[in-house]
């Protein structure tokens, strides 16, 4: 069974503060992704990675940075958090070879006050 673990599960941050969301996968998948989900909407891609050391911009990268220090770990960084970044963030991993199903973590609920 695929395993993607996100931490923290809930986070309250102050405007202008730095926030780091962490993701760990034990699937040995090359690709990892960060999405955000706003209430009543689908997931939108922020950043993704093909492997350790690589990060790519997704559809809504502004205000976010990503870091992939290893195959297993992928972080999302908000250097200067704003209230508009209040959302639920999902990490996912996937392997391009095969059917390329993405496996999602349980999500991190972030509130920026």
Partner 1 sequence: AQRVTQVQPTGSSQWGEEVTLDCSYETSEYFYRIFWYRQLFSGEMVFLIYQPSFDTQNQRSGRYSVVFQKSFKSISLVISASQPEDSGTYFCALSELITNTGKLTFGDGTVLTVKP
Of 14-22, 55-63, 66-74, 75-83, the segment contacting partner 1 by CB under 8 A is 55-63
99 is an interface residue for partner 1 by CB under 8 A: yes
Using rule CB under 8 A, residue 90 touches partner 1: yes
Contacts 24+ apart (CB under 8 A), 83-87: 83/15, 83/112, 83/113, 84/112, 85/19, 85/36, 85/110, 85/112, 86/110, 86/111, 86/112, 87/36, 87/37, 87/38
Judged by CB under 8 A, the residue of 33, 76, 78, 112 near partner 1 is 33
Q: How far is CA 5 from the centre of its chain?
A: 11
Q: Does 56 bind partner 1 (CB under 8 A)?
A: yes
- Give the Cα separation of 111 and 6 in Å (integer): 16
* CB of 43 vs partner 1, minimal distance in Å: 5
Residues that bind partner 1 (CB under 8 A): 31, 33, 40-45, 48, 50, 56, 58-59, 88, 90, 92, 94-96, 99-104, 106-107
């Amino acid at each position: 069974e695929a395993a993607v673990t996100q931490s923290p599960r809930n986070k309250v941050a102050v405007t202008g503060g730095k926030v780091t969301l962490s993701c760990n996968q034990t699937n040995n998948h090359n690709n990892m992704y960060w999405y955000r989900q706003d209430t009543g909407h689908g997931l939108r891609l922020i950043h993704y990675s093909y492997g350790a050391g690589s990060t790519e911009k997704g559809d809504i990268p502004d205000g976010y940075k990503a870091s992939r220090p290893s195959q297993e770990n992928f972080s999302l960084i908000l250097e200067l958090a704003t209230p508009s970044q209040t959302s639920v963030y999902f990490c996912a991993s996937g392997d391009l070879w095969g059917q390329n199903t993405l496996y999602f973590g349980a999500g991190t609920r972030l509130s920026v006050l």
